[in-house]
Amino acid sequence: MKIVNVISAIFLIIAMLAACESQKSTKKSAEETQAAEDASTGTAANTTAAASPDTENPLFTTWTSPFETPPFDRIKNEDFKPAITEGISRHNEEIKVIAENPASPTFANTLEALDRSGLFLDRTRRVMENLLAANTNDTLQAIATDLAPAISQHNDEIYLNPLLFARIKAVYGERNSLSLNPEQRQLLERFYKDFVRAGANLNDTQKARLKEINQELAVLELKFADNVLKDTNAYQLVIDNPADLEGLPPNVIAAAAEAATERGQAGKWVFTLHKPSMIPFLQYSPRRELREKIFKAYINRGNNGNVYDNKSNIARMIALRLEKANLLGYKTWADYVLDDCMAKTPANVYNFLDQIWTPALKRSHEEAAALQQLITAEGHNFKLEAWDWWYYAEKLRKQKYDLDEEMLRPYFKLENVINGAFLLANKLYGLQFIERHDIPVYHPDVKVFEVKEADGTHVGILYTDYFPRASKGAGAWMNAIRDEYKIDGKKVTPLIINCGNFTKPTPDQPSLLTLEEVTSLFHEFGHGLHGLLADCTYLRLTGTNVARDFVELPSQIMENWVTEPEFLKLFARHYQTGEAMPDELVAKVRNSRHFNQGFATVEYMSASYLDMDWHMVTQPVKAGEVMDFEARALARIGLIPEIVVRYRSPYFSHIFAGGYSAGYYSYMWAEVLDADAFEAFKEKGLFDAATARSFRENILSRGGSAEPMELYVKFRGRQPKVEPMLRRRGL
């Protein structure tokens, strides 16, 4: 496909979208420090821990740890149910006061009051949801499943409250005559649309059915995620013959030995389905039958006909989502979801994907042929299979560029990479990151950093949690335990968590990351900055509360700096010698950046198509038809058999448990934005202060306080162009 056609497709979408100074050495007195920390959380105005029926439960008390961080060291599983129950009760009373206010509805007594309601419940839910993702257990999962219907019902009772909606509708009807600033106008627009999309205009019978659907979906999504985690943890490839370790790097063997010891199999080697364990095995093991075994275990998670099988959950969720969309006046779930995103319609998403898919698929055919040639050249007569791709791609990269992952790892010690991310934030925004040891954590792997402006002003708290464990979900993510907002003129500062599942240290070696893991860390750190640097008044609009196909811009742009020689040499230092990555190796990284991009693009985009196809159905799909549906969707786009879709349906947590249904395309759409945005830095300088200030002021700090394209144009001075993304992928 010619580039001009891709550009036309992007422009079509765009046209529719338009509508460190170091910490001061002088220590403050204890009183001054506490005063500063109280001010940062708005303690004086914060009513989240009002009169408590249970002073023994830390979730009911005012948190006295620095910056009102959660007392993770004191919170127990059994604390959540009474706190959530009480939170629902308190929130109901607050909503009742707003909805039944005898005074005429105004922006202040309705919209602002609504935005400020439910703080106690929100605080408790966020802590529980973070633990469910990062440090879960059977008891907590059972409690969450038990609470899910009540939480769902509570949300529905707010959005389907006729008195409350009547007040919002009244203010909305007068919006053109009100003296509202842009952020206030946006809050009014968002809340009105939120209520309409949640069913506020439905009749009583429809509302009753919608509540039932939402409650069932809430439980199913929890069940789906729980099944994926447990099926992932259920598998292990145990090796007891040292000959089967041939080709594996020493650090990979050491990690497998430690994993075996942890599982009571000392003297053996265990490989799991967590990517830091599995991917190196696929890259380096010449034992083809073992590669096939672990790869097939990975791609069949949730599809093994056991207690963790997710096919019935998928079928039920798809049916319920379709019914909900129809109730709300939409033909499909995708139509419903995209109406509130930048892309607006399924046709726009498919058109966007199609134009990139064609050159990417062509490239993947070429790459597969090159790998097959390598197999033949080695004297083998087997056909390239999906479990061979990583192994032969790594060989080909070594052959073409004299580069493999193990050459890079020594320069990517985890601590150095973290410091590199902090250094970048300092160079761009003047931020300082000071490790704190006086703030409770939920697991020993977690570290805590206070974030400050160049002048020492407190910005927020960043928790980092980077190692895999059985109690933690796969992948990488950012959560906010507390969003930034302002109340009574005081700024409440954010509490942000960055999670990952990166290579663990061994007794003989620190955590040494792959380039992909480094990129992932910078990606989530970008989400973290989006939350940390928020400067909004209202909770509904602050931080990452933006359109789903815009939220990846602040994260993905951070990835661009990782392989820029000017920056790479600042943090990529050998873990033993401290020497910067040599120019020759940096050049190899740069020269190979287009290598395997057909695979990477096709693997990702096939998942985007699968997501869209699932949510374009107009009739339910039976549980026994789930895998056939997937096969037809992938055959339709011509996915080659040598590449397996990045997420098969039974473990596609992004869309069945993670809020990205009909939205997984967002990463590619955001890549158009981030590649174009990074060009601004390339034009002015990687660390240009004015460009960084503009990105912070117009993107990072604004949250959802304006329409996404409006914010982007304020930063860039124009709408995005697609050429930078195509160049970056070599397409």
Q: Tell whether 192 and 243 lie within a shared domain.
A: no
* Position 635 in a domain: no
pLDDT value at position 405? 85
pLDDT value at position 28? 38
Instruction: Mention every residue, 6+ apart, whose C-beta is less than 8 A from residue 447.
Output: 435, 441, 463, 464, 465
Other Cβ atoms less than 10 A from the Cβ of 456: the count is 13
Where residue 453 falls (left for φ over 0; alpha for ψ -120 to 50; beta otherwise) is: beta
Q: Which of 432-436, 468-472, 722-726 has the lowest mean pLDDT?
A: 722-726
Q: Does 675 score more than 70 pLDDT?
A: yes
Question: Average pLDDT, stretch 606-624?
Answer: 98
Q: For residue 545, which amino acid is it? A: N
Q: Tell whether 239 and 193 lie within a shared domain.
A: no
Half-sphere exposure of 226 (CA within 13 A, CB side): 20
Q: Tell whether 80 and 190 lie within a shared domain.
A: yes
Domain that holds residue 132: 54-201
* Position 368 in a domain: no
- CB contact at 8 A, 105 and 99: no
Q: 727 falls in which pLDDT band (50, 70, 90)?
A: confident
| CA separation for the pair 86, 91 (Å, rounded) | 9
Q: Tell whether 151 and 105 lie within a shared domain.
A: yes
* Position 365 in a domain: no
* Position 520 in a domain: yes
Domain boundary among 593, 622, 647: 593
* Position 521 in a domain: yes
Say whether 580 sits in a helix, a strand or coil. strand
Q: Does 23 score more than 50 pLDDT?
A: no
Q: Tell whether 152 and 275 lie within a shared domain.
A: no
Number of domains in the chain: 3
Helix runs in 489-596, H state only:
515-532, 553-562, 565-571, 583-591
Structure token digits, residue 536: 């909004």
Element (H, E) at 432: strand 432-436
> pLDDT exceeding 70 applies to what percent of the chain?
93
| CA separation for the pair 129, 659 (Å, rounded) | 13
Q: Which residues are catalytic?
A: 524
Work out the burial of residue 253: count CB atoms within 10 Å of its CB; fewer than 13 is exposed, 13-18 middle, 19 or more buried: middle
| CA separation for the pair 323, 333 (Å, rounded) | 8
Question: Average pLDDT, stretch 6-27?
Answer: 34
Q: Tell whether 174 and 287 lie within a shared domain.
A: no
Q: Tell whether 153 and 274 lie within a shared domain.
A: no
Q: Which of 10-19, 72-81, 150-159 has the lowest mean pLDDT?
A: 10-19
pLDDT value at position 723? 86
Q: Tell whether 580 and 463 lie within a shared domain.
A: yes
* Position 173 in a domain: yes
Question: Average pLDDT, stretch 550-576?
Answer: 96
Start-to-end CA span in the chain (Å): 10
Question: Average pLDDT, stretch 319-334?
Answer: 98
pLDDT value at position 40? 57
Per DSSP, the chain holds a count of helices (H) and strands (E) of 29, 9
* Position 87 in a domain: yes
* Position 511 in a domain: yes
Give the pLDDT confidence of 500-534 residue by residue, as tens digits. Answer: 999 999 888 999 999 999 999 999 999 999 999 99
pLDDT value at position 41? 56
| CA separation for the pair 256, 135 (Å, rounded) | 22
Q: Tell whether 424 and 563 lie within a shared domain.
A: yes
Q: Does 230 score more than 80 pLDDT?
A: yes
- CB contact at 8 A, 381 and 286: no
Say whether 438 sits in a helix, a strand or coil. coil
Domain boundary among 299, 329, 351: 299
Give the pLDDT confidence of 677-714 residue by residue, as tens digits. Answer: 999 999 999 999 999 999 999 999 999 999 999 999 99
Q: Tell whether 574 and 427 lie within a shared domain.
A: yes
Q: Enter the pTM of the model.
A: 0.88
For the chain, the helix, strand and coil percentages under 3-state DSSP, each to the nearest 5: 60, 5, 35
Angle (CA) 440 446 452, round 5°: 75
Q: Tell whether 536 and 419 lie within a shared domain.
A: yes
| CATH, residue 425 | 1.10.1370.40
Q: 15 falls in which pLDDT band (50, 70, 90)?
A: very low
Q: Nearest Cα to 49, choosing from 61, 36, 38?
A: 61
Give the pLDDT confidence of 410-421 residue by residue, as tens digits. Answer: 999 999 999 999
Q: Nearest Cα to 409, choosing from 652, 589, 550, 597?
A: 589
Half-sphere exposure of 299 (CA within 13 A, CB side): 16
Give the pLDDT confidence of 340-365 residue by residue, as tens digits. Answer: 999 999 999 999 999 899 999 999 99
Q: Tell whether 172 and 260 lie within a shared domain.
A: no
Domain boundary among 593, 612, 634: 593
Q: Does 51 score more than 60 pLDDT?
A: no
